[in-house]
Amino acid sequence: MTQDKKQKFSAKRDLTAGLIVFLIALPLCLGIAQASQAPLFSGIVAGIVGGIVIGFLSKSALSVSGPAAGLVSIVVGAITELEVFEIFLCAVVLAGVFQLILGLLKAGTFASFFPSSVIEGMLAGIGLTIIFKQLPDAVGYNGPDNLIGMRDGERGMNFEILTGISDHLHFGAIVITLIGLVILSTWRSMKSLQQILPAGLLVVLTGTFLNILFKQTSGVLHLEEQFLVQLNVPTSVQDFFAQFVFPDPSGFLNPKVWQFGIIIAVVASIETLLCIEATDKLDPLKRNTPGNRELKAQGIGNMLSGFIGGLPITSVIVRSSANINAGARTKLSTIVHGILLLTCVASIPAILNYIPKSALAAILIYTGYRLARPSLFRHMYHVGPSEFIPFVVTAIAVALPFLGLLKGVAIGLVISVFYLLRANMRNPYYYRRVQSENGDITRIELAQEVSFLNKGSIKNTLNSIADGSTIIIDATHAEYIDYDVLEAIREFYDIQAPNRNITVSLVGFKNTYRIPEGANVHYRMDELASDKDAKLSAGSHKKLLKELNSKKRNE
């Protein structure tokens, strides 16, 4: 395939992926705005800015930005406390300014400190959240809203859905969802057909056609307006532009506005960096996104979104993963999805209102399944407890409604750090016991780096040495030894060893790590004390080292 053909093929995939993401982003933008107690149009504005502006400025090829459910609780609290939406928009503008400053300060490497097990767990948790949150639309739930909480968001797994949803089902929605899932699971294996018509687009077209067919036939399965995409239809150009609102300048003088601006900036930046890291892991081409550039792009996007009446924006893993699953290869798909959002709300909102929410729910449930697929759990289990437990804890914590994304990731990170510290405490040295003509010899060979975290493990090992034993502590390969560790070795050498009749030889300790002056510790073997009753002679020590090294080579 020539370069021109490859570019045309990639552009085609990006255009279709942009259409799929647009169809998914539309109800999410509306649902998040509704859950945030903000004007519905503010969610669309955030989606447009996230797609076109941030899509253009960002270096991420596949990430999709827009209003995120992870900020809903913060936005609700800010709007409630500030009372006026136009005042709240000032906080969004300030959040963008702070994000831009964070980017200039090169704070974008923050996500690099997160272990892969935590990121994978975050993805799996979001996948579980997507599945549970899409159940109402997937089965045509028509009961009270307080049973299920936020319908179209990405936040939290509400188990009350499972206990009350069975009384309010619509079989037309269930049929469309099941057929959509069958299409998604089978269509992907048909590579040639997938290139012509993406599975997600086929699901939307099929769901819309089926609902029209249901209406023309029995009507029992027909989905009414409440089960379809609901978008405001402006009657004139003036009506359309009247939906944009602007921040009240007096809000910038309110200290609470600055407080909420900082909070939104910090939380949005963390979510964005984590989602960018996760998106890069899902990228088939394994490209890396510069975090500092992303923070700058997000900052500019949030400033513009707040200025024209939009909600705060972050990179969103739901839309990003759907973008990847739809076959996108460049950021053209992200920009296209933003252009389509702008076009549809300006010109054809009535046509979009024919799309069943259950068809979109099928796409999102399949996306959630791919993020939390059972094979991933099996893989992490076989890797080992140090990876599997942080992964599972993060996945469950992210999915729980009272924790959410940030708290869930924080809990997973704490568990991961625990295993890291545990590993460091257990592996500061190489321990072996051999027999020689001088009796049993214990050799402790320190690792390349020995930190204060290893102090407890080394002290326990030294305390467990039998009375009257001979021990060699070898620091030949150690590049760094913490002062606390050296102090523990000095105490053992000066106090414990003589009292317990233990012969200790120290080898390879460097001057840069010398134990403080006054300690009776010598680094060169020929300077070791020569008390025949307690110490090895220099000649015996040389012979012993030669014997130990010979046995080590033969193992």
Q: Return d(Cα 240, Cα 233) in angstroms, integer.
A: 9
Percent of the chain clearing pLDDT 90 (strictly above): 25
Residues in CB range of 166: below 8 A, 6 or more apart: none
Domain boundaries, the chain: 3-418, 428-554
> Which one, of 302, 334, 304, lies nearest residue 319 by Cα?
334
The CATH architecture that domain 428-554 belongs to is 2-Layer Sandwich (3.30)
Strands laid side by side in the 429-436 sheet = 429-436, 439-446, 470-474, 503-507
Q: Return d(Cα 306, Cα 38) in angstroms, integer.
A: 13
Q: Which two tokens stand for residue 451?
A: 């930190």
> Which one, of 83, 41, 79, 50, lies nearest residue 245 by Cα?
41
H/E stretch holding 505 reads strand 503-507
Find the mean pLDDT for residues 143-165. Answer: 49
State which of 87-101, 286-300, 342-356, 417-431 shows the largest mean pLDDT. Answer: 87-101
Structure confidence at residue 149 (pLDDT): 44
Q: Does the model's pTM come out above 0.85?
A: no
Three-state secondary structure call for residue 152: coil
Structure confidence at residue 4 (pLDDT): 57
Q: Sign of the CA dihedral 232, 75, 48, 252? A: positive
What spatial distance separates the first Cα and last Cα of the chain, rounded to whole Å? Answer: 55
Q: Return d(Cα 253, Cα 165) in angstroms, integer.
A: 47
Q: Which two tokens stand for residue 27?
A: 């109800």
For the stretch 252-269, pLDDT in tens is 999 999 999 998 998 889
For the stretch 511-520, pLDDT in tens is 655 444 443 3
Phi, psi of 431 (to 5 degrees): -115, 130
- The 10 Å Cβ neighbour count of residue 7 is 12
Asked if 187 and 199 count as a contact pair (C-beta separation under 8 A), the reply is yes
> Which one, of 337, 248, 242, lies nearest residue 29 by Cα?
337
**pLDDT at residue 92 is higher than 50:** yes
Structure confidence at residue 549 (pLDDT): 52
**pLDDT at residue 390 is higher than 70:** yes
Which neighbouring-strand residues pair with 471?
Answer: 442, 504
